[in-house]
């Protein structure tokens, strides 16, 4: 009798387990069916213009393509000094970049650009522009020879994004376009290819450690509002120091942006092609001069505004691991 009762109890327990399992499986199936139904409903509710009332988003998909608006394009501000062959190579290359709006050449030489140079560069720009959209070429003529000229406010700029570049470095257009996209995600930040690091004792260092606090303006995106800030708010003593020593305008801009945002820059991984032979960084005592600049600027700002980071932006289309 006891044996039969035990068997019956075991059978009831097993039936209960099967029932619970079946009910759980049924709930999962119902949940999955509900998810599929919601997905299908979302697709069905998507209007022909690309909007979706179910998700509460009524924008047009086409509106996300801002390539024809100032937000969707950028301007190059290129610093140059008596290296016309490099200038021609750089202009010819960057004129073919898809979302480029204009090129502004910062001209600080005592003599104005020759007519032959202007004609050649305009021809090169027209020849290399793509998508039937001409790139505007403008010479920004300065009376004074100063490295501060590259950061003068420029009211001819039609875009918010400025790509500051020296004429002796070239990046593939695909790399520039990626850096521009990164900048669009953080438009108050400097986004560039050449990272540098300041140390606790406020000395200057080439980036080796994986941590950085600056990206050099020889190849960097930033918002055009910083040109106005540099022109109007940068202490005159710092600008005079830069003009006198012909160095450190890039560090000054990094200080300015960091002091405004309280945030670090963003380093973008990209292949750089150096087409020039020499520059001020190749001169003796360069690192010592940069350290003196950092000390000087900290004293003028009253604090160290630079913020360190180890963030690196990498285009995952081009690499498997990063």
Reduced 3-state DSSP string for 127-155: HHCCCCCCCEEEEEECCCCCHHHHHCCCC
The Cα 300–Cα 304 span in angstroms is 10
Phi, psi dihedral angles at 232 (to 5 degrees): -95, -30
**Burial class of residue 1 in the structure, from the number of CB atoms within 10 Å of its CB (0-12 exposed, 13-18 middle, 19+ buried):** exposed
Among 141, 62, 65, smallest CA distance to 107 is for 141
Whether the CA torsion 186, 190, 193, 194 is positive or negative: it is negative
- Residues across the chain: 322
The Cα 71–Cα 297 span in angstroms is 32
Which string of b and e fits 82-97 if b means at least 16 CB within 10 Å?
ebeebbebbbbbbbeb
Q: What one-character DSSP code corresponds to residue 52?
A: B
The Cα 248–Cα 148 span in angstroms is 9
Q: What one-character DSSP code corresponds to residue 131?
A: T
Phi, psi dihedral angles at 135 (to 5 degrees): -95, 130
Residue in the structure block whose two tokens are 């029932």: 19
The Cα 201–Cα 150 span in angstroms is 29
Six-digit token string for 142: 């300065």
The Cα 255–Cα 234 span in angstroms is 10
Six-digit token string for 2: 């006891």
Which string of b and e fits 213-251 if b means at least 16 CB within 10 Å?
bbbbbbbbbbbbebbebbeeebeeebbebbbeeebbbbb
| Catalytic residue list | 250
């Amino acid at each position: 009798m006891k044996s039969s009762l035990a068997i019956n109890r075991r059978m009831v327990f097993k039936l209960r387990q099967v029932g619970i399992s079946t009910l759980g499986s049924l709930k999962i199936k119902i949940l999955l069916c509900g998810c599929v139904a919601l997905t299908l409903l979302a697709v069905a509710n998507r209007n022909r213009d690309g909007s979706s009332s179910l998700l509460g988003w009524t924008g047009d998909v086409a509106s996300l393509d801002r390539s024809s608006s100032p937000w969707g394009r950028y301007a190059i501000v290129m610093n140059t000094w008596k290296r016309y062959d490099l200038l021609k190579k750089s202009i010819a290359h960057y004129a073919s970049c898809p979302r480029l709006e204009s090129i502004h050449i910062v001209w600080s030489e005592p003599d104005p650009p020759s007519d032959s140079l202007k004609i050649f560069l305009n021809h090169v720009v027209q020849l290399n522009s793509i998508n039937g959209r001409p790139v505007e070429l403008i010479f920004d003529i300065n009376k004074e020879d100063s490295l501060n000229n590259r950061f003068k406010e420029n009211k001819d700029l039609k875009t918010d994004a400025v790509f500051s570049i020296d004429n002796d470095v070239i990046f593939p257009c695909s790399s520039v376009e990626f850096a521009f996209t990164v900048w669009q995600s953080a438009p108050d930040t400097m986004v560039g290819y050449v990272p540098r690091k300041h140390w606790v004792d406020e000395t200057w260092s080439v980036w080796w450690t994986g941590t950085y606090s600056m990206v050099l303006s020889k190849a960097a995106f930033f918002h055009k509002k910083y040109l106005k800030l540099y022109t109007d708010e940068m202490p005159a003593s710092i600008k005079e120091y830069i003009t006198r020593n012909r160095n450190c305008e890039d560090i000054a801009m990094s200080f300015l942006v960091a002091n405004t945002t309280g945030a670090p820059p963003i380093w973008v991984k990209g292949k750089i092609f150096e087409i020039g032979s020499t520059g001020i960084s190749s001169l003796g005592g360069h690192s010592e001069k940069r350290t003196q600049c950092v000390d000087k600027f900290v004293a003028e700002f009253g604090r160290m505004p630079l913020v360190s980071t180890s963030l690196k932006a990498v285009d995952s289309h081009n690499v498997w691991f990063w």
